[in-house]
Structure 1
Amino acid sequence: MNSFRVRLTLIFVGLIGLSVLTAGLFMAKTFRDNHLDALQDSMVREMNIILSTIQWRTGQPEQLFDYYTERADRLRAITGERVTFVRGDGVVLGDSDHAPETMENHALREEIVEAKRSGIGRAIRRSETTSENLMYVAIPLDPASADSAVLRVAMSLSEVDASIRRLWAVLIGGLLVLFAVAALVSYQIARGLTRPLEQISRVAKRIKNMDYQARVPVIKSDEVGELGQSINAMADSLQQQMQRIRQNENQLESVLDNMINGIVMIDRSGVVVLMNRRAEEVLGIAARELEGRHYGEAKQQYELAQLIEEGLASREHIRDEMTLYYPEERLLELNLVPIFHGKDDFGGVLLVLQDVSAIRRLERMRSEFVANVSHELKTPVAAVKGFAETLLGGAVDDPEHARAFLQIIYDESDRLNRLIGDILELSKVESRRVPLQFSPIELSTFVARTVELVAPEAARKGIALSVEASPGLYVEADEDRLRQILMNLLTNGINYTPEGGKVSITAEPLWTGGRAAEEGDDYEQIRIRITDTGIGIPKKDLPRIFERFYRVDKARSRSSGGTGLGLSIVKHLVELHKGTIAVESEVGVGSTFILELPVLH
């Protein structure tokens, strides 16, 4: 903008200078012309006086040279001007500055021709004899005669030229002063005009750089002020529009980033234009690596690329399921939806990726659960039905066999009842329809009472029970559900421990990081360990022991009356308490179940 101000100043100064220079040229020319006209009038008056006082003679030129030369010299002495007498045919009869007999014929001289035609002739040219600019003025002796003799007077223009030079010196000096004043005034005017334009330009650049809070300070209400107001109104409108656009973009980005389905938008040329976070996770490709590039550049399996190519070609909705093996194995439901802008303008396709691995796994687990439940229910029902048919077939008449069969029917009915009860309990726990009533529990007393409940069973197998819990150790939990957890774990330990073995339970305080709390510390968690010296669990079975109906030793489990649901129920109850459960085991040595619960909820 400073260069614009300088250019504007130069334009102003140039216009003023050109105007002054033009005026000076016109004035100098007018001055010179007026001066020459005045000189001509003066010279004509002098020549008229000369013609009225001189006696004009005729004859041969040789006889007249001396006469007219003497007259010319005398007149030059009086007037200071060159005087020339020219005969009608152009022969010079006398001249005050040159010998007439050596001078050429003057019949065609400009001033002579003009004098005979109009009565007065004037010409300005450089004299070869004096090397000065001279003004020649001639008048005829008899204006009515075309062959009239002519009197010519010449005057040097050195004084006129000197006057013109003095005029130019004054003019140039004044012009320089005027230029300086004009430059200063023009700069101030240009500065006053360009300063608001500079502000408008700076604001426009800031708006161009997306700084929509920039505003033009409007001081005057002229055209520039109206321009500033228009810029401010435009900035207000752009700011509001950009705020709405950013708000919509943030909402759209939030929706896309929090969608559980992957979204990939591909234009009709196959270039990926949009990709959300879930799609990055599913495909194992960062959006910045793929957006703006062709989908074929993604290192994905051939079937997915073929599906996209088919969707771009057919421009129809395509639905399919596909297993991807990178970055991890997933079963995906793919929906390829065509995008149209208007009625017939095809814009590309939208690829929706839905991970249905968990859904299919749940469906498989449900099928397996139904099959397992059917199998588990079928066994006791078959036993009850078989022995009932045996009794109806006549075995009821044999008291010894009848009693044995009835005992089996009773045991199987009891097992069936426990199985149904566990299934209902697991269903409630898994659906989180179990309301927990949290209350402070003093663990040493609570654990001791729980051990008393399983003591008769342990005594029948000769299994020793031991309890280790510090007095004053509290935890916030649902008392009935916590007792159900410990009962299940203790019963499992007793059932899978041979006679003469040992089952122990310990409770200790913990910090969140797992460090055992020292005496006097404020603990944040408690850890309960239930250890037995039983048969142990193979390492390959450890990850699955909390699954429904999973049994390490199926024959042993059924003989012990287990339903295969106890540990699954325990796991879900622990999770309802925001705790964790883990197991450590070695075959032939025993198992340890480690339960960690938060102190407060």
Structure 2
Amino acid sequence: MNSFRVRLTLILIAMIGLAVLAAGIFMGKTYRDNHLEALQDNMIREMRLILDDMDLKQGNPDDLYAYYTNAAKHLKVITDSRVTFIRADGLVLGDSDHDPKTMDNHSTRKEVVEAKKDGVGHTTRYSDTIKENLLYVAMLDHPEDPNSDIIRLSLSLKKADESVQRIWTALLAGLLILFVLAALISYRVARGLTRPLEQITRVSKRIKNLDYKARVDVKSNDEIGELGMAINAMADSLQVQMTRIHQNERQLGTVLDNMINGVVMIDASGTIVLLNRMAEEVLGFSALDLVGHHYASAKQQYELSQIIQEALDCREHLRDEVTFYFPEERLLDLNLVPIFEDNDEFGGVLLVLQDVTAIRRLERMRSEFVANVSHELKTPVTAVKGFAETLLGGAVDDPETARSFLQIIYDESDRLNRLIGDILELSKIESRRVPLQFSPVELSSFVNKTIELMSAEAVRKQIRVSATVEEGLYVEADEDRLRQIVMNLLANGIAYTTDGGSVSIVVEPVHDPNLSLDEHGQENYEHIRIHITDTGMGIPKKDLPRIFERFYRVDKARSRSSGGTGLGLSIVKHLVELHKGTITVESRVGVGSTFTIELPVLQ
């Protein structure tokens, strides 16, 4: 824009300079012409005065040379001009500056020819005699007689040229001053024209660089002002549109990033153009590594590349389930949907990845649960049915046998009742239809009461049950459900501990070093930890991950003989989770097991 301003300034200066130069030339020429015309008029008046005062003699030229030469020299002093007397035939009779006898015939001189024709003639030419530019004016003695004698005055143009030179000097000085003024004025004019354009250019560049808040400061209502207002209107429209686009992009990005399914968009050439956060987790690659690259660069397993290529080739909806082993083993449901543009041109495919590992696991667990429930229910029902048939077959007549069979039928019915109760209990807990009534529980008295409830079975097996609980420990919990948790774990410990063994329960606060002391100087705590340890048979390491599953038993024969349903630990785990706690187990075969429960103090 600065170069444009310079060019515009130079153009304005050149235009003004040419105009001033043309005016100066015209004024100089006009002045010179007017000056020469004034000299001619003055010389004509002087010649008329001379002719009126002087009689021109006729006769032999030799007799006239002296007369006219003296007269010419005398008149030169008066007129300050060169005076020449010329006979009608062009012979020079006298001259103030030169010997007339040596001078050429002047009948062909331009001023003489014009004088014979019009009475007065004039011209300007270089004089070979005087070696100067002269103005010649000739006049007939009798203007009505072309053959009359002629008087001629000539004046050096040196003075006239000097005057013109002075005019030219003044004109050049004025022109120079005018050039300076024109330059200043032109610069201000050009600056006034280009400054708004510069601002418009800067604003346009900022808009091009996505700065849609840039505006032109409009200060005029001319064409440039209208252009600025048009730029501002365009910027307003772009800002509104880009704000809407960015808002839509943010919304779309939020939706994609928070989807539970992975989404991958692949164009018609096989290049990945979009990858959401869940797809990154599923595929084990970041968007920076894949977006803009061919899908084959993901180096995923062959089945994924094959189904993507098949979708690009057939351009139809495809669906399949593939097991992925990187970054971890999981089962994925793949949906590939073709994308078509507004003009029905194929734009690529949209790959939706859904992790169905947990769903399939739940389906398998449901099937196993149904099978286990059927098996568990069938066992006592079969026993009841078998012994009842035996009694009906005649064993009822033997009192001792009948009593034994009826006791078995009673035990199996009781076991069946417990099994159905546990199944219903677990169903309610899993469906979260168990309302918990939270209240502060003082753990010392709570543990002692719970041990008292379990004392009969412990005494029967000569198992020592001990408790270690700090005084004043409280936890917010549903007391009945917390007792159900502890009793289940104590019952398991007693059941799987040989006679004469021991079971202990330890309750301790989990101190946080970042928390300040309470008003009694005691350390504050946010969690409590319950350890239930037995000296029983222990759990093999391979079974530890599965002991909280429904109907899973480490020793199936002993579990049935102890009357367990196989649902106790699963119920315990769900109840602990309802209290927002955790449960873990450590065990060594032949040494014993320790179950650890950690619960938040406040719900």
> Could you say whether these structures have the same fold, taking a TM-score greater than 0.5 normalized by the shorter chain as the test?
yes
Instruction: Tell me which residue corresponds to 2:596.
Output: 594
Instruction: Tell me which residue corresponds to 1:273.
Output: 273
| Aligned residue type for 1:360 | R
**1:593 alignment partner, SS class:** strand
1:136, distance to aligned residue in structure 2 (A): 4.9
The answer as to whether partners of 2:546 and 2:552 remain within 8 angstroms in 1 is yes
Distance 1:148 1:559, change over 3 A: farther
Instruction: Tell me which residue corresponds to 2:423.
Output: 423
1:375, distance to aligned residue in structure 2 (A): 2.3
1:386, distance to aligned residue in structure 2 (A): 2.7
Distance 1:471 1:10, change over 3 A: same
Q: Hey, what's the Cα distance between the residues in 2 that align with 1:307 and 1:582?
A: 43
Q: Hey, what's the Cα distance between the residues in 1 that align with 2:79 and 2:543?
A: 146
Pick which of 133-142 and 19-28 moved more. Answer: 133-142
Q: Hey, what's the Cα distance between the residues in 1 that align with 2:308 and 2:110?
A: 100
Distance 1:425 1:176, change over 3 A: same
Instruction: Tell me which residue corresponds to 1:510.
Output: 510
Instruction: Tell me which residue corresponds to 1:566.
Output: 568
Instruction: Tell me which residue corresponds to 2:302.
Output: 302
Instruction: Tell me which residue corresponds to 1:381.
Output: 381
Distance 1:375 1:46, change over 3 A: same
1:166, distance to aligned residue in structure 2 (A): 1.6
1:74, distance to aligned residue in structure 2 (A): 6.7
Q: Hey, what's the Cα distance between the residues in 2 that align with 1:197 and 1:401?
A: 116
Instruction: Tell me which residue corresponds to 1:460.
Output: 460
Equivalent residues in 2 for 1:438-477 (5 A)? 438-477=438-477
1:590, distance to aligned residue in structure 2 (A): 0.8
Asked if 1:361 is matched to 2:375, the reply is no
Distance 1:51 1:471, change over 3 A: same
1:541, distance to aligned residue in structure 2 (A): 1.7
1:145, distance to aligned residue in structure 2 (A): 11
Pick which of 481-490 and 45-54 moved more. Answer: 45-54
Asked if 1:391 is matched to 2:402, the reply is no
Distance 1:72 1:513, change over 3 A: same
| Aligned residue type for 2:570 | S
**1:300 alignment partner, SS class:** coil
1:578 to 573, 580, 591: 580
| Aligned residue type for 1:556 | R
1:373, distance to aligned residue in structure 2 (A): 1.9
Asked if 1:552 is matched to 2:548, the reply is no
Asked if 1:242 is matched to 2:249, the reply is no
Asked if 1:311 is matched to 2:299, the reply is no
Instruction: Tell me which residue corresponds to 2:290.
Output: 290
Q: Hey, what's the Cα distance between the residues in 2 that align with 1:186 and 1:385?
A: 120
The answer as to whether partners of 2:76 and 2:83 remain within 8 angstroms in 1 is yes
| Aligned residue type for 1:560 | S
Instruction: Tell me which residue corresponds to 2:330.
Output: 330
Pick which of 487-496 and 145-154 moved more. Answer: 145-154
Q: Hey, what's the Cα distance between the residues in 1 that align with 2:86 and 2:552?
A: 151
| Aligned residue type for 2:266 | I
Which whole-Å deviations, capped at 9, do the CAs of 1:306-337 have from their partners, x for residues lacking one? 33333333332222222333222232222222
1:535, distance to aligned residue in structure 2 (A): 1.1
1:577, distance to aligned residue in structure 2 (A): 0.2
**1:524 alignment partner, SS class:** strand
The answer as to whether partners of 2:512 and 2:524 remain within 8 angstroms in 1 is no
Q: Hey, what's the Cα distance between the residues in 1 that align with 2:543 and 2:65?
A: 156
**2:468 alignment partner, SS class:** strand
Which whole-Å deviations, capped at 9, do the CAs of 1:461-509 have from their partners, x for residues lacking one? 1111101112221111011110110011111111111111110001111
Q: Hey, what's the Cα distance between the residues in 2 that align with 1:581 and 1:123?
A: 133
1:137, distance to aligned residue in structure 2 (A): 5.2
**2:549 alignment partner, SS class:** coil
Pick which of 100-109 and 315-324 moved more. Answer: 100-109
Equivalent residues in 2 for 1:527-546 (5 A)? 527-546=529-548
Which whole-Å deviations, capped at 9, do the CAs of 1:330-362 have from their partners, x for residues lacking one? 322222222223242333322222222222222
| Aligned residue type for 2:380 | P
| Aligned residue type for 1:498 | T
Q: Which runs of 5+ in 2 are unaligned?
A: none
| Aligned residue type for 2:542 | K
1:116, distance to aligned residue in structure 2 (A): 7.7
| Aligned residue type for 2:550 | R
1:380, distance to aligned residue in structure 2 (A): 2.3
| Aligned residue type for 2:526 | E
Pick which of 256-265 and 67-76 moved more. Answer: 67-76
Equivalent residues in 2 for 1:34-113 (5 A)? 34-43=34-43, 79-81=79-81
Distance 1:148 1:55, change over 3 A: closer
1:299, distance to aligned residue in structure 2 (A): 2.8
Distance 1:261 1:72, change over 3 A: farther
Which whole-Å deviations, capped at 9, do the CAs of 1:566-589 have from their partners, x for residues lacking one? 111111110100001111111111
1:411, distance to aligned residue in structure 2 (A): 2.1
Q: Hey, what's the Cα distance between the residues in 2 that align with 1:296 and 1:473?
A: 60
Aligned residues: 599
**1:432 alignment partner, SS class:** coil
**1:592 alignment partner, SS class:** strand
Q: Hey, what's the Cα distance between the residues in 2 that align with 1:3 and 1:553?
A: 96
Pick which of 184-193 and 363-372 moved more. Answer: 184-193
Which whole-Å deviations, capped at 9, do the CAs of 1:250-304 have from their partners, x for residues lacking one? 2111111111112222233333332221222222222233323333333323332
Distance 1:429 1:162, change over 3 A: same
RMSD of Structure 2 on Structure 1 (CA): 3.9
Distance 1:166 1:385, change over 3 A: same
Q: Hey, what's the Cα distance between the residues in 1 that align with 2:570 and 2:591?
A: 23
Q: Percent identity?
A: 69
Which whole-Å deviations, capped at 9, do the CAs of 1:545-575 have from their partners, x for residues lacking one? 1122222222222222222211111111101
1:445, distance to aligned residue in structure 2 (A): 0.7
Instruction: Tell me which residue corresponds to 1:341.
Output: 341
Equivalent residues in 2 for 1:203-214 (5 A)? 203-214=203-214
Q: Hey, what's the Cα distance between the residues in 1 that align with 2:99 and 2:299?
A: 115
1:405, distance to aligned residue in structure 2 (A): 2.6
The answer as to whether partners of 2:511 and 2:523 remain within 8 angstroms in 1 is no
| Aligned residue type for 1:291 | V
**1:335 alignment partner, SS class:** strand
Instruction: Tell me which residue corresponds to 1:521.
Output: 523
| Aligned residue type for 2:344 | D
1:21, distance to aligned residue in structure 2 (A): 2.8
1:227, distance to aligned residue in structure 2 (A): 4.5
Asked if 1:30 is matched to 2:30, the reply is yes
Pick which of 105-114 and 28-37 moved more. Answer: 105-114
Distance 1:494 1:155, change over 3 A: same
Q: Hey, what's the Cα distance between the residues in 2 that align with 1:303 and 1:522?
A: 56
Which whole-Å deviations, capped at 9, do the CAs of 1:411-455 have from their partners, x for residues lacking one? 222222222222222222122221111011111111111111111
| Aligned residue type for 1:426 | L
Equivalent residues in 2 for 1:144-163 (5 A)? 154-163=154-163
